[in-house]
Structure 1
Amino acid sequence: MALGRVLALALLCHGVISGPAGVALSAQRKLHGRFLHITDIHPDAYYKVHSSTDEDGACHRGKGPAGPYGAETTDCDSPFSLVNATFDWIAANLRDTIDFVVWTGDSARHDGDERLPRDADQVLGTNTWIADKFADLFANAEGKGLTIPVVPTLGNNDILPHNILLPGPNKWLKHYSHIWRHFIPEEQRHSFEFGGWFDVEVIPDKLAVFSLNTLYFFDRNAGVDGCANPQEPGYKQMEWLRVQLQFLRERGMKAILIGHVPPARTESKKLWDETCWQKYSLWMHQFRDVVVAGLYGHMNIDHFLIHDKDEIDIAALSGSSELGARVAMEDELSVMSASDYLVELRNRWSKLTPPPGKRGEVAKDGKRKKGKKVKDPWGERYHLSLVSPSVVPNYFPTLRVLEYNITGLEDAPVWKGALTGVSRAVADEEASSQKHLELRDLSGETDVDDTTLTKKKKKKNKKPKKTPPHDPELHIPEPPSKSSPPGPAYSPQPLTLTGYTQYFANLTRINNLSLTDLSTSTSARPAVITFNEQDAGESGSEDRRGGWRDWLLRWRSGKHGGKKPASPHPPRPREFAFEVEYSTFDDRVYRLDDLTVNSFVDLAVRIGERVGAKGAEVGSSSEDEEEEEDEDEDDDQESDVESDGDVETEKKKKKAKKGGKKGSKKRKLNKTWLHFLRHAFVGTLEEDELKKLY
């Protein structure tokens, strides 16, 4: 009997036989150092080709420019043809070259058509369809498990009504525990029904992906109330995350966090409840040696977030802090509201301290060339969230493939399916028995002192007062050991994200539509509307913009809005394919050596820079400066004297033009910022449209 068990184990290890149902074993598979991020698919079974993209049509009826693979730059959802073509492209181009998939939610259509209200069967039906497509795409040869892990997370449109998820256990979490049975480790399915969160060791004993249920952090979820009350699911999820990250630290592992709704927060807007944002930011800072990055979706626009530990306020964790008011961000951002949000981000970035050295390069001794000691050479004051654009063509359909450093991991054991080992069961039992694991708090030797947390300036050499946390239940994690090196989010090493390649499907070209103007359309509007003060009246700026906001947030009919098919015959689309939009490995404007925090801080600083007096931004390339100078020369050539009879007048005009030109140079475009905006909207906006948003 014992010999038989040994033989069976040996065969399992060598991939000769299969493990239990739901477990895929493949000893031959090697790590590629790449994984796929896919988000916001929004399949719509009612989508109709050549239907109207106006709000009354919603790509469900009428005559209009809805294309065979979707209606780009509109508020329409994804036709099944786009979803099928996307999975076919992944199968042909990515399936065998990636190590895992992160799928960050929203796999049901929006509830935007009053004539076709959503119901639970539709929401669960499309989610089941997408989950089964992932299971089929990555099924092993025996069809009894997956070749690689797929880690999903709940989106705000994956429930009904959207945004509102009550504390578990509830029917929605029970349904998803079954729909995602291929993806949730078996021993976590029961706990998933109570909270909707789980984790997967995508590289055993090396890297785990944590699927966060961000609906319990979402400020628009009226069914819950933040992360300060121990009875709230947000609080419980943060406690689970704290304990699990501590276990990873003890095991020498790293983590990637994924969620649907990102922790976006500017001066006036927010997506998360403040107590959840504060606790998350504190956790990320204290576990900066463990967490590689946070990956999110929901917002459809391509951008990143830099979170600052100096904004952490312990009092906010108990809900007792009087912080500046921030309004909940719009559920779905229009181009104009998205640009306002991005401008606020840019204003924040303009105040960042540039990283030491050129483009984030740090000397081994932590010193600048002049010998001045750098206080925070690795940028550990910050942590990073990456927000990927979506498959649904609010702009163009998009996929992102991220790469990470596998130096020394080339022969590491790979994921073999649902984790059923003794070590994981023991870890879970320990986590349950240590629900309130006591870790060092602020009164201990943490590096997040009261000066940082309350943002009060202390006199030099004067010790700050040690104020205990307001919440007696608050357990603050220990920071990394002072002797430990910076984590992979800060210093290039194994598991550091090295870059990503962004793919998009140019539906304007692929759909190959022949359209004509539809003069009877009244609700169509272009994808971008510029703000006109004269049309908005003479009241205060807030009132003027507020009046336009109600209109700007209306349904988007897209770049082809107000047009109809020129021919009654079916469209003849070109072959569907994703193509590279850009890659951080060779983007000459972004110039990202890797995806470490300092690389993004350097990029954010360049985006936030204001153009100098000579018309060129600090850090701009020589090509940019030459282009600026050429533009100035063209301006000078426009001042030719037309007659000899009024030379003095022409001199005055030329002098005035020259004087005005000095002022205009200060308003020259920051090309890095313009480049960032172009990518934010996935290349759907023309240069003049971007400059209007600028």
Structure 2
Amino acid sequence: MHIDNNYCPGASVKSGCHNPIKNSKKDQVAGRLGTPGARCDAPAELAQQTLDWLVGEWRDKIDFVIWTGDNSRHDWDKTRKRKMQNVLDLNQQATDMMIDAFWPHVPIIPTLGNNDVFPHNQIGGKDQSSELLDFYEELWRAWIPQEQRETFRSGGYFAVDVVPGIRVLSLNSMYFYKRNDLVQSCAHKQSPAHKHLQWYRAQLLQARKDRVKVYVIGHVPPSRDYRATCLDDYLRISLRYSDVIMGHFYGHLNMDHFLLYGSAQDKSFGMGVSSMDDDSDDDDSQGVHVTRNIQKYVDWLHNMYKSLDPLDDRQAPPVVQPPLLAVQVSPSVLPRFYPTVRIYQYEIGNKHEHKRPYGTLLGYSQFYSNITKWENDLSPIEYTLEYTTQDAYGMRDLSPASFLELAKRMVSDSDKIGKKIWKDYVRNMFVQTANDIFS
């Protein structure tokens, strides 16, 4: 949510929406609920009104909430540098808001973001970051099972059963993030990153034995932003347990899209272009700007989808298709683009009566709020349906095979409808905020 208590409506955008306007003719002005297109975080009022809308519309209809991290503001305003206490206070505030909205009616599964640690991007193991890990274990204790709390204090990750037959693994993706200098690569056996992947593998093996399905959540998605050894091991483990894992949910990039990895795919695509690529070393200035290498990232996605072999439906069963991994990267409440939330549907029928495995993601509905329309309206904001995966993309479900079918159709040179879907998909990446960039 990137809550910023220093956000000031009417302030200069150049100041991170913090300081009064100096030149009203030249300076862009901060909006009441956020400033789409600007380098500003979310006013607390936007976060609160978003949760209020979810409570009114969805709290009695949902089973659990996946919360993919980054609750503290960015460090964009160099005159108001963050301190550790600022980061902790903002996470306390965001957690209190989530508790008031959902708990104890609805379970919440949080995960650490790169702006939830201090210094920025940096978190080590228990020996290096005990104060930080202990803080979050206490803050989120109601949602971390008792038998998982020591694990969390050691590494910031945990497993929890949210409904019968479904287990969520909340990973500490910061251990795989190459900007985290406190952790060695996943090849070092004493590294917290290596130990985390050992835990990940063991949890998936146990889930298979327990005959439960798994949703994996984290903040930084598996991509070139991971260390090479960590990305390789994450993909290898995940593909090995593709029968257990029903979905991978990540955030961080603030853009609505998905990544696909196959066992036979050229792994260099995992190390390709990222939205983090630009000329700055400070990734607080990266990843959320429409003007920063967006076309390059879109082209890289297109090439990633092109690189994957289509499913071979010409051979009769029991031909086993190679495993495939689909990573869903969700947009956010951060109003760089219009604030967004998702409501997922999943299979809960009897395992023996349905073709789809229990826990299969059936689709999602994405809602957004055009906050510019609420600028002068003091009534509570509303969120509007942006699209559903079935109506916008014709997806029968959110299995990796369905994502692959969508991807191959969108990049086909001969499918005119697929080309139109690709244009819609690219526009949706920016939640209707930047539709003038792509024709």
State TM-score, norm by structure 2. Answer: 0.90
Q: Does 1:208 align with 2:164?
A: no
CA distance in 1, matches of 2:208, 2:266: 22
> How far apart are residue 381 of structure 1 and its match?
2.9
Q: Given that residues 403 and 500 in structure 1 are in contact (C-alpha distance below 8 angstroms), is that contact kept between their aligned partners in structure 2?
A: yes
CA distance in 1, matches of 2:7, 2:162: 36
Counterpart of 1:301 in 2: which secondary structure?
coil
**Counterpart in 1 of 2:245?**
291
**Counterpart in 1 of 2:205?**
246
Q: 1:133–1:574: structure 2 CA closer, same or farther, 3 Å change rule?
A: closer
Aligned amino acid, residue 620 of structure 1: I
**Counterpart in 1 of 2:71?**
107
Q: 1:112–1:150: structure 2 CA closer, same or farther, 3 Å change rule?
A: same
**Counterpart in 2 of 1:601?**
404
**Counterpart in 2 of 1:353?**
309
**Counterpart in 2 of 1:272?**
226
Residue by residue, what CA displacement relative to the aligned partner does 1:148-190 show, whole Å, maximum 9, x if unpaired? 2210000000011111112224211111111111211122212
> How far apart are residue 337 of structure 1 and its match?
1.9
Aligned residue among 414, 418, 433 for 1:684 = 433
Q: Does 1:502 align with 2:366?
A: yes
Q: Where do 5+ consecutive residues of structure 1 fail to align?
A: 1-40, 140-145, 265-269, 314-321, 358-367, 410-484, 513-571, 611-616, 622-669
CA distance in 2, matches of 1:583, 1:60: 36
CA distance in 2, matches of 1:173, 1:356: 46
CA distance in 2, matches of 1:219, 1:243: 24
RMSD: 2.3
Q: Does 1:153 align with 2:116?
A: no
**Counterpart in 1 of 2:125?**
167
Aligned residue among 95, 103, 107 for 1:131 = 95
**Counterpart in 2 of 1:233?**
192
CA distance in 2, matches of 1:182, 1:59: 35
Aligned residue among 400, 403, 415 for 1:618 = 415
Q: Given that residues 135 and 182 in structure 1 are in contact (C-alpha distance below 8 angstroms), is that contact kept between their aligned partners in structure 2?
A: no
Q: Given that residues 211 and 257 in structure 1 are in contact (C-alpha distance below 8 angstroms), is that contact kept between their aligned partners in structure 2?
A: yes
Residue by residue, what CA displacement relative to the aligned partner does 1:284-323 show, whole Å, maximum 9, x if unpaired? 111111111100000000000101112488xxxxxxxx99
Q: Given that residues 402 and 501 in structure 1 are in contact (C-alpha distance below 8 angstroms), is that contact kept between their aligned partners in structure 2?
A: yes
Q: 1:679–1:323: structure 2 CA closer, same or farther, 3 Å change rule?
A: closer
**Counterpart in 2 of 1:674?**
423
Counterpart of 1:598 in 2: which secondary structure?
helix
CA distance in 1, matches of 2:388, 2:272: 34
> How far apart are residue 373 of structure 1 and its match?
4.4
**Counterpart in 2 of 1:398?**
340
> How far apart are residue 325 of structure 1 and its match?
7.1
Q: Does 1:578 align with 2:379?
A: no
Q: Given that residues 246 and 360 in structure 2 are in contact (C-alpha distance below 8 angstroms), is that contact kept between their aligned partners in structure 1?
A: yes
Aligned amino acid, residue 216 of structure 2: L
CA distance in 1, matches of 2:160, 2:231: 23
Q: Where do 5+ consecutive residues of structure 2 fail to align?
A: 22-27, 278-282
**Counterpart in 1 of 2:25?**
none
Q: How does 1:530-679 map to 2 (within 5 A)?
A: 572-573=377-378, 575-587=380-392, 590-610=393-413, 617-618=414-415, 620=417, 670-679=419-428
Count of residues in correspondence between the two structures? 420
**Counterpart in 2 of 1:520?**
none
Q: 1:375–1:59: structure 2 CA closer, same or farther, 3 Å change rule?
A: farther
Residue by residue, what CA displacement relative to the aligned partner does 1:6-58 show, whole Å, maximum 9, x if unpaired? xxxxxxxxxxxxxxxxxxxxxxxxxxxxxxxxxxx00000000111112xx21
Q: Given that residues 73 and 396 in structure 1 are in contact (C-alpha distance below 8 angstroms), is that contact kept between their aligned partners in structure 2?
A: no
Q: 1:325–1:195: structure 2 CA closer, same or farther, 3 Å change rule?
A: closer
Counterpart of 1:96 in 2: which secondary structure?
coil
Aligned amino acid, residue 256 of structure 2: D
> How far apart are residue 91 of structure 1 and its match?
0.9
Compare 57-66 and 381-390 and name the one that shifted more.
57-66
> How far apart are residue 351 of structure 1 and its match?
3.1
Q: 1:258–1:182: structure 2 CA closer, same or farther, 3 Å change rule?
A: same
By relative contact order (CA 8 Å, sep 6+), the higher-ranking structure is 1
Aligned residue among 138, 142, 148 for 1:188 = 148
Counterpart of 1:503 in 2: which secondary structure?
strand
Q: 1:66–1:376: structure 2 CA closer, same or farther, 3 Å change rule?
A: farther
> How far apart are residue 126 of structure 1 and its match?
1.0
Counterpart of 2:162 in 1: which secondary structure?
strand
Residue by residue, what CA displacement relative to the aligned partner does 1:490-541 show, whole Å, maximum 9, x if unpaired? x6232110000001010121224xxxxxxxxxxxxxxxxxxxxxxxxxxxxx
CA distance in 2, matches of 1:677, 1:309: 26
Aligned amino acid, residue 176 of structure 2: F
Q: 1:404–1:344: structure 2 CA closer, same or farther, 3 Å change rule?
A: same
> How far apart are residue 352 of structure 1 and its match?
2.6
Of the two, which has the highest radius of gyration? 1
**Counterpart in 1 of 2:138?**
178
Q: 1:115–1:274: structure 2 CA closer, same or farther, 3 Å change rule?
A: same
> How far apart are residue 65 of structure 1 and its match?
2.3
> How far apart are residue 116 of structure 1 and its match?
0.7
CA distance in 2, matches of 1:176, 1:576: 31
Counterpart of 2:242 in 1: which secondary structure?
coil
**Counterpart in 2 of 1:360?**
none
Q: How does 1:310-389 map to 2 (within 5 A)?
A: 310-311=264-265, 329-330=276-277, 331=283, 332-333=286-287, 334-335=289-290, 336-357=292-313, 368=314, 372-373=315-316, 379-389=321-331
Q: Given that residues 68 and 573 in structure 1 are in contact (C-alpha distance below 8 angstroms), is that contact kept between their aligned partners in structure 2?
A: no
CA distance in 1, matches of 2:407, 2:318: 20
